Amino acid sequence: MSAEDLEKYETEMELTLYREYRDVVGIFKYVVETDRRFYLCNQVDVKARTESGDVFFEVTMNDAWVWDMYRPARFAKAVKVLTFKDVNVETLAPTDLNPAID
């Protein structure tokens, strides 16, 4: 597989992922962004934890969709993320639920 073929494949996968996002965003209440992933979910809980003087975040999500083009199944009943980096949680507004159609 050439570099051009790989780039074309990744571009097609990203477009497919965006279309799936556009189709499912309306069924979720929250957007959660971590340093490694982007999630849509209907329930989220973020807790700051301390261990040996280090602070990390424990993020628990239910009924989640994961933005990851290499994942064969993007829907997950429950997701738990541990991270030392920032976590951003946003409530989706009704206008966010209808992204522009390309």
Closest CA to 59 of 86, 26, 91, 96: 86
- What tokens appear for 91 in the block? 């409530």
DSSP states along 21-83: HHHHGGG-SEEEE-SS-EEEEEEEEEEEEEETTEEEEEEEEEEEEEE-TT-S--EEEEEEEEE
pLDDT at 96: 54
Reported as a single tens digit per residue, the pLDDT across 17-61 is 899 899 999 999 999 999 999 999 999 999 999 999 999 999 999
Residue 10: pLDDT over 90: no
State the residue range of the domain holding 74.
3-93
Domain count, the chain: 1
Whether 102 is covered by a domain: the verdict is no
Q: Confirm whether 55 is domain-assigned.
A: yes
Please state the pTM of the whole predicted model.
0.80
